[in-house]
Structure 1
Amino acid sequence: MTDASLQTRRSVLVTVTDVIDESPDARSLIFTVPENQRAQFSYRPGQFLTVRVPSTLTGSVARCYSLASSPHTDPAPKVTVKRTVDGYGSNWLCDNVRIGDTLEVLPPTGLFTPTSLDTDFLLWAAGSGITPVMSILKSVLSAGTGRVVLCYANRDERSVIFAGELRELAARYAGRLTVLHWLESIQGLPTRAQLRGFTQSVFTGTSSFEAFVCGPAPFMAVVKETLAEAGVPRQRIHLEVFQSLSGDPFADDTTALTVAPDDGDSAALEVDLDGTRHQLRWPRSATLVDVLLASGVNVPHSCKEGHCGSCAATVVHGEVDMASCDILEPGDIADGVILGCQAKPISDAVHIEF
């Protein structure tokens, strides 16, 4: 197999062109991407970036931040970072990044993105969970035809990120956008009982909306249960799940990757990626991502720990085993969705589609 050191460098150095205070504990960073790397940096609504954050203890840490900008309305990509208690990455970015600074990032990725902008959407966000939801919302209103209802939960009025922008959008798209704010200081934490009536009344007369949910785990759990009780099919409920990254996804840029040679105990692998079909042998001791990288295939990936979903793919034929798949919903797994960084072959032939 071809040594992975022959691959081009995946990470991109972007320049911070603006820093915007969105709320007392959240800041947006707007980037300029080098001209020769802009194609590599194209993104879909709801995707995220992996950012290298300097650390005096480990050299750097990697953190995932959703793009709050829309590829259909915004001239430059933007991530919005909210401080978290004891959150090293978020606090460092909020305290230290200035206009003119450069940051190293991995290209946009992620599955929390609509397949079509021409349906109706029920969007749920809590706190900084508004960031990918905002990207989807603006994209639907600008480039799609669907209606949008946003339910946005926060501690109090001061905590609302993008408050002014949401007011402007609600006024501009009065016939298509409804924004409902849920303030814990007034209404308490949302419960299933409180949300049930609201969910059942949304888009009266139609059940075709897609639901996208992003926020703290307890919030997403309540919303998911509420939607399920309201009869929303699981395939129309989309959750954004992040877990802390303990490894260094940037290491692939400088570290050669080797995969044990085929000793006869391998599977026949077909992979459809970016319009190209690759046919390889897949040693049973190697993960799908490692096999593709070692073969010189630029497969989407980030953490390689099963925590971000960058390498999600679908098994068209065959069977695989995964060491970790906590971020996938049971329904996703039943539909054949896998994490390439965790998958190893069970059957003798496997067909994968990215």
Structure 2
Amino acid sequence: MTSVAPDSLGYTIEVADVISETPDASSLIFDVPKALVEKFTYRPGQFLTVRIPSERTGSVARCYSLASSPTTDERLKVTVKRTAGGYGSNWLCDNITAGDSLHVLPPSGTFTPHDLNGDFQLFAAGSGITPVMSILKTVLASAAGSVALYYANRDRESIIFDSELADLAKKYPDRLTIEHRIESETGLPTPGSLTQFADNHFDSNVFVCGPAPFMALVKETLTSIGYDRHHIHIEEFRSLDGDPFAPIKVVVTDEDTESSTVEVTLDGDTHTLPWPADATLIDVMVSAGIDAPYSCREGECGSCACTLVEGTVDPGNTDALDPDDVADGYILGCQAKPTSPNLKIEF
């Protein structure tokens, strides 16, 4: 089944299977129709934004990482772990079965390697393993570098993909190293354990996903021992308050004297567009029929991060950007509004 809801953006696709990974985590396997295969092409580490029914608001939107690999897996897979008080995760785990359908936006996200070559240092805690697993499998299958995974969990029962990781370690004994950090046995991750794991691998590509304190600890530890902050990629998700599935329409008239002009470069193509002062860049691009990258439209996920090459903007909410990224000229397309007559932006 596939359709475009008349009152929303996105697509309705069928759940082919539901796999129990741990007592509180399940994977949803999606059957993407042939007509949508290109639209749902993804890179390792990206995620899906899912529309979940809600009796109070009609629906809520949540982002879930793809645990599948575009290289090794025929079907898309997201893994959902229950969180205390988490409406979206509990609803999916309690209600979705094989044959059901969900309304989703195409894969998006910037937590993905630009190049699969070289060595990788991967750090995950709890359900943070999901996008990291996608990267790990893709690198092992598509490149020749080594992969080292530091994986923290509350206890052995909580290890998502435990048997799959063990199988991969046997298949790639010379390329894959896994260090499990089990809180019930050795305590929480420490700067000492992270340093011992990561020392002398300063040229590696680093990807980190998990609870905020874990990610902050990893980044602080690695930068303190000499890692380049630009090589450390952090992923985190926040609950979305708005509706990224709501239709977008920006109308520019000849009387719109406050409209700026922007040159946007995306996937090698440059588009010149009028940009009204009260519209965001993503709204302008989507209204013009451009397949712009976005997922939350709230400045929370970072999918629409881009570089302001020329001109000035009101940046809006930039919570998804690291202060260093802001200093390097990054903005969020779903938040930025123009404050100069001419702008150039690159995705």
Q: TM-score, normalised by structure 1?
A: 0.92
- The match for 1:189 is 188
Q: Deviations over 1:268-315 (max 9, x none)?
A: 210112332111222222211122223332322221110112222122
- The match for 2:337 is 344
Residue 121 of structure 1 deviates from its aligned partner by 0.5
Contact 2:244 2:296 in 1 (8 A): yes
Structure-to-structure mapping, 1:300-319, within 5 angstroms = 300-319=293-312
1:209 to 189, 192, 204: 204
CA distance in 2, matches of 1:10, 1:246: 17
Structure-to-structure mapping, 1:250-261, within 5 angstroms = 250-252=245-247, 257-259=249-251, 261=253
CA distance in 2, matches of 1:121, 1:334: 26
Contact 1:67 1:132 in 2 (8 A): yes
Contact 1:249 1:304 in 2 (8 A): yes
1:291 to 261, 264, 284: 284
Q: Deviations over 1:243-273 (max 9, x none)?
A: 1100111112xxx523464632332210112
Please give the secondary structure, in 2, of the residue aligned with 1:280.
Answer: strand
CA distance in 2, matches of 1:319, 1:70: 38
Query: Which letter maps to 1:250?
Result: F
CA distance in 2, matches of 1:57, 1:9: 18
CA distance in 2, matches of 1:276, 1:60: 35
State whether structure 2 residue 5 is matched by structure 1 residue 13. Answer: no
- The match for 1:31 is 30
CA distance in 2, matches of 1:101, 1:286: 36
Contact 1:28 1:78 in 2 (8 A): yes
CA distance in 2, matches of 1:83, 1:229: 34
- The match for 1:105 is 104
Please give the secondary structure, in 1, of the residue aligned with 2:230.
Answer: helix
CA distance in 2, matches of 1:298, 1:197: 44
Q: Deviations over 1:80-124 (max 9, x none)?
A: 000000111101111111111111110000000001111110000
CA distance in 1, matches of 2:194, 2:243: 40
Kindly tell me the number of residue pairs found equivalent between the two proteins: 341
- The match for 2:317 is 324
- The match for 1:120 is 119
Structure 1 runs, 4 residues or longer, greater than 6 Å off: none
CA distance in 2, matches of 1:35, 1:195: 44
Using the aligned pairs only, state the percent identity: 58
5+ long unaligned stretches in structure 1: 1-6
Structure-to-structure mapping, 1:120-159, within 5 angstroms = 120-159=119-158
CA distance in 2, matches of 1:315, 1:286: 16
Please give the secondary structure, in 2, of the residue aligned with 1:153.
Answer: strand
Contact 2:260 2:277 in 1 (8 A): yes
Residue 200 of structure 1 deviates from its aligned partner by 1.5
CA distance in 2, matches of 1:309, 1:164: 32
Please give the secondary structure, in 2, of the residue aligned with 1:249.
Answer: coil
Output the aligned Cα RMSD.
Answer: 1.7
- The match for 1:41 is 40
CA distance in 2, matches of 1:143, 1:234: 26
Call closer, same or farther: CA 1:84–1:9 in 2, change over 3 Å.
closer
Q: TM-score, normalised by structure 2?
A: 0.94
